[in-house]
């Protein structure tokens, strides 16, 4: 068994948390080809992303309470099994409707990784050290969205888009074996909660009455939705509008992910000295400024690939700062219902992202305009969430 605080446990949890990004980012270069192969439209193909996040949202409401009752490990293993078998189903899909069904089921399994990964970090490292560890996991798992589109583009060239989902199934089965054999249960017996509707609703009511929990959750949800705008539309914008080759799309995406890594590294190195709340504000400002700067050329019909990528990199710096700090801040006061707190955060984050993704897909007009304006709005809402719910002049920053 791995020691709970060992780097091996952190790596395993990072791999579990990365199930979401892998499931979305790896097939991004294939979206235009899948649109043709499955004889469907751009908005229908983009809907496979939003359907995934809808399933991601629904399942999160159950994962946390179940994990608070039965422990993290059995629930995580069940999720990994669902994810792996559904990935095989995605590879076998012959219509976009079948793909949507399997993507929904795939999401039901995949969301266990992020929910329980965050929860286990809170279990093992406590409220004070959770945010830096989440930032470290964010840095490690950033390899997933950096490598996934490049690897996915290669699989398209060497095989076809079905190979992407078969690889995801293989990854899920391997992770299930490592997690089952090597990772220890992190939930203490005294923290186990009965699983019934009254207990669950009482916990959710307690969370929704907590002003700071709402502030952290909204900040995390809006900044992630800005990232999701880029995920859902970037392949069409870069490949169809700017003429980027499918096999080169992943390189641009990897460059964008570098911004996220920079943000998480800043959290690890400076959050203790600057103060977590003050640094969160700086990350929100970065996201808002980058989003506005990205949208201006689109509004003027002066889009350039270099400027769009540069501003998305800067936006991702903000994402890398805001997400680990807001996750750590949201879970910090709730050691007794950490799983439920993580579930509600993930649910609201996924609902927000899925809703924005559907709107972007429906309004997409074959130019970067819809994507860049949506990203700028999400950056502004992130900053407003901080100012309304978390900004207190009389409260210490650290």
The string of DSSP codes covering 332-370 is: TT-GGGHHHHHHHHHHHHHHHHHHHHHHHHHH--SSSHH
Strands (E), the chain: none
Q: Is the pLDDT of residue 354 over 60?
A: yes
**What is the DSSP code string of 185-198?**
P---GGG----SHH
Query: Counting Cβ atoms within 10 Å, is residue 154 exposed (0-12), middle (13-18) or buried (19+)?
Result: middle
Q: Is residue 1 situated within a structural domain?
A: no
- Averaged confidence pLDDT in the chain: 82
| Spatial separation of the C-alpha atoms in residues 106 and 204, rounded to whole Å | 25
Q: What is the CA radius of gyration of the chain?
A: 20
Contact 107, 52 (CB under 8 A): yes
**Rounded to whole angstroms, how far apart are CA atoms 55 and 350?**
9
pLDDT of 145: 63
In a domain, 323, yes or no: yes
CA–CA separation, 378 and 213 (whole Å)? 19
Task: Please report which confidence band the pLDDT of residue 384 belongs to, taking 50, 70 and 90 as the band edges.
Answer: very high
Q: Which residue has the higher pLDDT, 112 or 379?
A: 379
What are the structure tokens assigned to 316, written together?
A: 């991702």
pLDDT, position 14? 81
More confident residue, 280 or 20: 280
Q: Which two three-digit tokens encode residue 153?
A: 């583009």
Q: What is the pLDDT of residues 171-203, one digit of tens each?
A: 999 989 998 888 777 666 656 666 667 777 888
Question: In angstroms, rounded to a whole number, what is the distance separating the alpha carbons of residues 169 and 147?
Answer: 17
Count Cβ atoms within 10 A of the Cβ of residue 255 and give its class: 0-12 exposed, 13-18 middle, 19 or more buried. Answer: middle
For residue 313, pLDDT beyond 90? yes
CATH number of the domain where residue 305 is located: 1.20.1250.20
Q: Give the burial class of 209: count Cβ atoms within 10 A of its Cβ; 0-12 exposed, 13-18 middle, 19 or more buried.
A: exposed
Q: Is residue 195 part of a domain?
A: no
Q: Is 308 helix (H, G, I), strand (E, B) or coil?
A: helix
Residue 279 lies in a domain: yes
* Mean pLDDT of the 251-262 span: 85
Q: What angle do CA 126, 283, 24 make, to 5 degrees?
A: 80
**Residue 199 belongs to some domain of the structure:** no
Residue 290 pLDDT class (50, 70, 90 cuts): very high
Please report whether residue 201 resides in a domain.
no
| CB of 337 closer than 8 Å to CB of 65 | no
Structural domain containing residue 347 = 7-179+207-390
The answer as to whether 187 is a domain residue is no
Percentage of the chain exceeding pLDDT 90: 24
Rounded-to-integer distance, Cα 286 and Cα 251, Å: 23
Torsion (CA) 295, 281, 25, 302 in degrees, nearest 10: 10
What is residue 291's three-state secondary structure? helix
pLDDT at 101 over 60: yes
Question: Considering its fold, how many domains does the chain have in total?
Answer: 1
Distances (CA, A) of 6 to 11, 132, 180, 272, 379: 9, 15, 16, 22, 35
Confidence of residue 398 (pLDDT cuts 50, 70, 90): very low
Does the CA dihedral 214-219-225-231 come out positive or negative? negative
Helix (H) / strand (E) containing 226: helix 211-235
């Amino acid at each position: 068994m791995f020691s709970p605080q060992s780097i091996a446990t952190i790596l395993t949890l990072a791999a579990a948390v990365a199930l979401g990004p892998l499931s979305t980012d790896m097939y991004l270069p294939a979206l235009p080809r899948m649109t043709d192969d499955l004889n469907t439209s751009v908005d229908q193909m983009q809907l496979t992303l939003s359907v995934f996040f809808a399933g991601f949202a629904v399942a999160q409401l159950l994962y946390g309470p179940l994990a608070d009752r039965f422990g993290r490990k059995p629930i995580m293993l069940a999720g990994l099994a669902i994810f792996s078998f559904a990935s095989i189903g995605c590879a076998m899909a012959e219509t976009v409707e079948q793909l949507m069904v399997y993507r929904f089921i795939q999401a039901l399994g995949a969301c266990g990784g992020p929910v329980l990964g965050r929860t286990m970090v809170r279990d093992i490292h406590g409220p004070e050290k959770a945010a830096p560890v989440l930032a470290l996991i964010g840095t490690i798992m950033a390899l997933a969205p950096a490598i996934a589109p490049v690897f996915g583009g290669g699989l398209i060239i060497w095989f076809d888009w079905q190979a992407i989902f078969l690889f995801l199934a293989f990854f899920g089965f391997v992770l299930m074996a490592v997690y089952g054999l090597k990772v220890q249960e992190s939930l203490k017996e005294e923290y186990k909660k009965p699983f019934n509707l009254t207990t669950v609703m009482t916990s959710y009511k307690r969370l929704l009455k907590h002003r700071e929990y709402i502030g952290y959750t909204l900040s995390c949800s809006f900044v992630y939705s800005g990232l999701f705008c880029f995920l859902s539309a970037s392949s069409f914008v870069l490949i169809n509008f700017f003429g980027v080759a499918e096999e080169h799309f992943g390189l641009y995406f990897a460059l964008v992910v570098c911004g996220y890594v920079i943000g998480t590294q800043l959290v690890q190195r400076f959050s203790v000295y600057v103060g977590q709340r003050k640094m969160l504000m700086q990350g929100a400002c970065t996201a808002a400024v980058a989003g506005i700067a990205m949208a201006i050329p689109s509004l003027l019909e002066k889009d350039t690939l270099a400027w769009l990528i540069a501003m998305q990199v800067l936006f991702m710096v903000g994402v890398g700062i805001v997400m680990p700090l807001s996750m750590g801040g949201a879970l910090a006061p709730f050691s007794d219902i950490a799983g439920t707190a993580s579930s509600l955060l993930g649910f609201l984050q996924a609902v927000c992202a899925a809703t924005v993704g559907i709107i972007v897909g429906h309004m997409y007009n074959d130019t970067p305009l819809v994507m860049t304006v949506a990203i700028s709005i999400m950056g502004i809402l992130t900053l407003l969430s901080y100012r309304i719910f978390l900004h207190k002049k009389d409260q210490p920053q650290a």
